[in-house]
Amino acid sequence: MSRSQHNPQSFDDSKDLRVNERSDWHTIKSLWPYIWRSKYRVMFAFVALTLAKLSNLGIPVILKKIIDGMTPNPTVQTALIVPIALLIAYGALRISMTMFNELREIVFFRVSENAARTVSLQVFNTLHNLSLKFHLSRQTGGLTRDIERGTRGVRTLIGFSFMTIVPTLIEMFMVLGFLWAKYDVVFVGITAAALICYIAYTVGITEWRTQYRKRMNEMDSKANQKAVDSLLNFETVKYFNNEQFEAMRYDQGLKQFRNAAIQSQNSLSLLNFGQQMIISIALIVILWYTTQGVVAGHLTLGDLVLVNTLMLQLYVPLNFLGVMYRELKQSLVDVDKMFTLLHSSPDVTDAVDAVDLHMAQGKIEFKHVNFSYNQNRQILHDVSFTVAPNTTTAIVGKSGAGKSTLSRLLFRFYDINSGEVLIDGQNIAHITQSSLRRAIGIVPQDTVLFNDSLGYNIQYGRPDASMDEVRAAATAAHLDDFLSRLPEGLETAVGERGLKISGGEKQRVAIARTLLKGTPILIFDEATSALDSHAEKAIQSAFDEAAQNHTTLIVAHRLSTIIHADQILVMDAGRIVERGTHGELLAQNGTYAAMWAAQQDE
């Protein structure tokens, strides 16, 4: 098929990373403990909020007294004393309102930031604790965007709730109470009716609009997934000249996002228009009723100003109720997604009575191990073998024979279906994963480096190691010649996934990192697959030195690298079909001998 016939839709992954949505109250309940950890700050902020609203309510009351005090023929004493005292009180109340509001924000801002930080850190730790199965099936772009939105949602949810929603509710009840105590019940009825209509209309329309916001988020995540995936695999994109194809796939997501955004904006206009209609009608009715009282003589001009100011003070924050409610609903959705990740349970967990691994000799045993990644495809069939302490065991076989699966099971990335995996007689299912992985070092077949310096990537094996130890590990991995050619030495940046250096250099860095970790058990999983013959011989000497005082497991394809092994296991279709030393296996003239002959011919 020609490139012009590419249909991006055919490659569209319709399986989004979805989570089960819970109720809003469930989400709030999950978030509340993070807020209440700073309960004294919360209580202090609430007191400051109440005082700010009392000051705000007193401002129009003082303004009414000022206006009522300004009679057409005031005495000199009244003109000089009464208005000045009231003006001072008016100014004091405005200053008090501002002061208490700012004090509330200063005190409470730390609460929201601490909550966001704590939740984000726990989600980060949870993601690292989830099993390899989760990380192999995740969509990095969408996942990172969900976490980003969730963290922002925590700040928005706490900020809007305590900085806007709660203050508006407090002010609403204060105004209704003041109108009830000071004026006719009609004032309370008009105001309450307007508030009920306003809130009901806002909630109803916003609930209807939520579908468009959700759709926008879904399209945003999908577009981001495609963009991140394409950029991470930019070499493949260039190899196949598919830049335009990738742009079409990305633009498809952007178009869907645009359509959802347009629908969301149109519904927002409808919401804003309806809100202003309700507010305007309520203001007209209540001001008309107040002016009738002024004309009748039982209300003053000060009362007219007071009622108008109270209504404006009340309706100004209500103007943003639609936006606030929408953002709160969206924040609840975003936070719920993050909490769903936070409450995700890993497939592999420590047993309740798990203890730390006690390393004595470093003996490894696989006893009748059966394992499958899924029910339809079994990988290992009754695998049993022993790696004696301070010896080297090599595992060879065709691709897909199950060689690398053994190293993953030894790290306990997966739990086996049946059988036992033992280290020094301790079943790894009964020891903590952390202590298990501290005892094992691995050089993987596919080495991926952090986008940092060479020194950082080597030191990652043991972050508290000194630079002298880092250099010693680099020397042991035969990186000296390579480093001598670099102007910046260990400070040389390796780029995204280590793509600035060759495959062989990446594997040497991985070897240095593992040697620096200094574990009693070493695993080399096709560790020389990216090296040429000359470099392989040099690295092999490093392997021999490292294996002298370690229990070593080598997964290899090239048989020339493992002829020194104390034991060689030959796997085929998930079973061990032969075992012995290099010489013994050649003498058997079986599968291993055929593999050796084929590689010698090559």
One-character DSSP codes across 453-491: BHHHHHHTTSTT--HHHHHHHHHHTT-HHHHHT-TTGGG
Q: How far is CA 484 from CA 372, 475, 479, in A?
A: 46, 11, 9
Q: How far is CA 327 from CA 161, 181, 209, 414, 561, in A?
A: 10, 35, 11, 40, 61
CA distance 128 to 1: 41
Q: How far is CA 26 from CA 29, 221, 527, 546, in A?
A: 5, 24, 49, 54
Report pTM.
0.60
pLDDT number for residue 7: 40
* E strands, 84-201, in order: none
pLDDT number for residue 366: 92
In terms of Cα–Cα distance, which of 464, 412, 454, 468 is closest to 437?
412
Q: How far is CA 107 from CA 29, 48, 113, 304, in A?
A: 22, 9, 11, 37
pLDDT number for residue 16: 39
pLDDT number for residue 528: 65
pLDDT number for residue 132: 64
Residues of the chain with pLDDT under 70: 1-24, 70-83, 129, 131-143, 145, 235, 239, 319-323, 326, 344-345, 497-498, 527-548, 602
pLDDT number for residue 30: 75
Residue type, 540: Q
Exposed e or buried b per residue across 154-169, where buried means at least 16 C-beta atoms within 10 angstroms of its C-beta: bbbbbbbbbbbbbbbe
Q: Is 425 left (phi over 0), alpha (psi -120 to 50) or beta?
A: left
Q: Report the CATH architecture of 351-439+551-602.
A: 3-Layer(aba) Sandwich (3.40)
CA distance 249 to 2: 17
Alpha carbon 287 to chain centroid, angstroms: 52
Question: 500: buried, middle or exposed (CB in 10 Å: 19+, 13-18, 0-12)?
Answer: middle
Adjacent-strand bridge partners of 555: 395, 525
Contact 360, 424 (CB under 8 A): yes
Q: Where are the domains of the chain?
A: 110-342, 351-439+551-602
CATH 2.60.120.10 fits 110-342, yes or no: no
